[in-house]
Structure 1
Amino acid sequence: MLKHLRKKTIIILLTVFIVVSGIFGLPIIYSLSDHLSATTRVDANILIVEGWLPPYAIEMAYHEFMNKGYNQIITTGIGLISHEYYMVAMNGYLIFYPQRENLSDNNISVHKIEVDAFSELGGENASRFNIFIDDSLVGNFQAEKKKRKYSVSWKGNLTTIDSIMVQFINDGIGEYGDRNLYIKGITIDQKIKIPYQKNSEYDIGTLDGTRRITNNFASYAELARNRLISLGIDSSIIKAIESKRVKINKTLTSALAFRDWLKTTDLKVKGINIVSMGTHARRTWMTYNKILDKKYDIGVISLPDYNAHTPRSYKVLKTIRETIRIVYYWFILIPY
């Protein structure tokens, strides 16, 4: 009886603790989230765009550059690793061009063509895509959140194929989050592998080439630069500054690469605004301010993180994680 009463008391106390923590803790976390996500512009002639930003954010950065009178736009980001997936973030076509010299039928009458992909969201909010071989629709799929291959059968001579296209057809943003499709590459007959890097183009919207990005980039900096050029910015005023590939301290690594580049240029700096996203913005501003030794006026533009519209727990966890990272960065920035 006493043991049962003690157990019941512990459960009641834990319940009270959770409720009280929610009542007093959540307002603090939400206030902290607003602080970390605050936008503070300065009078600037240089706009830095973090290359990891999703395409909708890159498009917002484009409008910022066009409307605010900047002279130079800089994209930053670490080098890519070959096994990463390509984010198809807007309706359009990811077009693969198989190298014909690598194609061989080997007396196979029916070929198996696979697309390695996954969806950012699952269930009714999952990404959908079509597969075309040249101009022929050969498959329609709903992607899962789990990485896997989606296959179609095709009868014909491989050497006659000009292109294999994956069409993303249901892009959307809402309370459910940001619906994106991720693609790694194509495999033919389980032998011929065609990765997206250096073998594909992304035609945003309709298949007309007006907003086509060639995927020949080797870093997030180059990826962002390509996307900004596709939106209409003159390539001569966009500089991609690639930093070394690292698993941690990516923001610091990008800031150091920008500082080193700045030492080699005769660009006159009036001020710098940095385009970031969500709660990450404060850490970006703190890092660049420290690395550049407060020599310049530096502002930050925090774009909306549409994943924050997903369940409340996402915003709470994201804020807590980012707060921990800021404390960590405060220590690692001491030597600079």
Structure 2
Amino acid sequence: MGKVPIFYMAGLGLFKKKEIWVPTWKGVLLVTSLVLLLTFLFFLKINSFLSMNRPVEAEVLLVDDWLPDFAIEETLKEFNEKRYRKLIITGGRKVYGWNATKFESSAELLAAKIMERGIDSSKIQLIKVSPSPSNRTNTSSIATKAWLTTHPHDFKAINIVSVGSHARRSYYLFNKSLGEHCEVGIISINNIAYDQNKWWNSSYGVKEVITECLAYLYTLLFI
């Protein structure tokens, strides 16, 4: 059987002719320029967007147990200068190494470091968090909400301490959990591991910012 002409098949209603629009060189240039501009703005602004810093007037400061040592001094400076009444430490990760014999969790270890720097133990409140392999921040926010609902408190606002590009995700999760109980603010401490304004020049910065960007999008969509 010979080849069936396309016009014959069209006559049977199997095909139809359509016109399509294709971009001119001006259109290609415009689209390319927009893509480059958006890429430039992403690299320029994404870290400052994620490193959200919006503290409120509060009497309580909260930190997670993963707070790195370089951020402890900034946290204590904030605590002392603003005269907070309470420092909440959340966490429950197991401690390894020589500290394993002294502390049951990394929250206790962080509390010890803070007390060594002059903060009285009466001003520190530990909130135990069940270890979670993923989304520890959300687990901490839920545990803090549970603590607030079962313990009497007279504070109306709380500031969450975070580091760098993790701050916006921390604010979103804690505000979601605690917003009905108190006003939530966020304090972002600069991550000294890379230049905040040129994060793309560091492999650590690229990994940190891109990972936090994806994690924030995941949080918005699924949590």
| TM-score of the alignment, normalized to the shorter chain, above 0.5 | yes
Q: Aligned partners of 1:53 and 1:21: how far apart in 2? A: 37
Q: CA deviation at 1:278?
A: 0.3
Equivalent of 1:261, from 147, 154, 157? 147
Aligned positions of 1:275-286 closer than 5 A: 275-286=161-172
TM-score between both structures, scaled by the size of structure 1: 0.52
Q: CA deviation at 1:313?
A: 4.2
Q: Aligned partners of 1:299 and 1:41: how far apart in 2? A: 4
1:147 alignment counterpart = none
Give identity over the alignment, percent.
33
Give the AA of the match of 2:99.
Q
Q: Does 1:227 align with 2:104?
A: no
Greater C-alpha radius of gyration: 2
Deviation per CA, 1:278-302, whole angstroms, max 9, x where unpaired? 0001100000011124432111100
Deviation per CA, 1:107-135, whole angstroms, max 9, x where unpaired? xxxxxxxxxxxxxxxxxxxxxxxxxxxxx
Q: Does 1:196 align with 2:98?
A: yes
Equivalent of 1:70, from 81, 84, 90? 84
Give the AA of the match of 2:98.
Y
Change (3 A) 1:242 1:313: same
Change (3 A) 1:262 1:295: closer
Q: Is the 8 A contact 1:220 1:242 kept in 2?
A: no
Q: Aligned partners of 1:29 and 1:78: how far apart in 2? A: 35
Give the AA of the match of 2:130.
K
Give the AA of the match of 2:85.
N
2:51 alignment counterpart = 37
What 5-or-longer segments of structure 1 have no aligned partner?
Answer: 1-19, 83-194, 200-215
SS in 1 for 2:52: coil
Greater strand content: 1
Aligned structure 1 segments of 4 or more residues deviating by more than 6 angstroms: 20-23
Q: Aligned partners of 2:168 and 2:106: how far apart in 1? A: 20
Q: Aligned partners of 2:98 and 2:44: how far apart in 1? A: 39
Q: Is the 8 A contact 1:222 1:242 kept in 2?
A: no
Greater helix content: 2
Q: Is the 8 A contact 2:58 2:158 kept in 1?
A: yes
Q: Does 1:326 align with 2:205?
A: no
SS in 2 for 1:279: helix
Give the AA of the match of 2:153.
L
TM-score between both structures, scaled by the size of structure 2: 0.76
Equivalent of 2:175, from 280, 289, 292? 289
Q: Aligned partners of 2:79 and 2:143: how far apart in 1? A: 22
Give the AA of the match of 1:330.
L
Q: CA deviation at 1:257?
A: 1.1
Q: Aligned partners of 2:105 and 2:222: how far apart in 1? A: 24
1:58 alignment counterpart = 72
Give the AA of the match of 2:104.
A
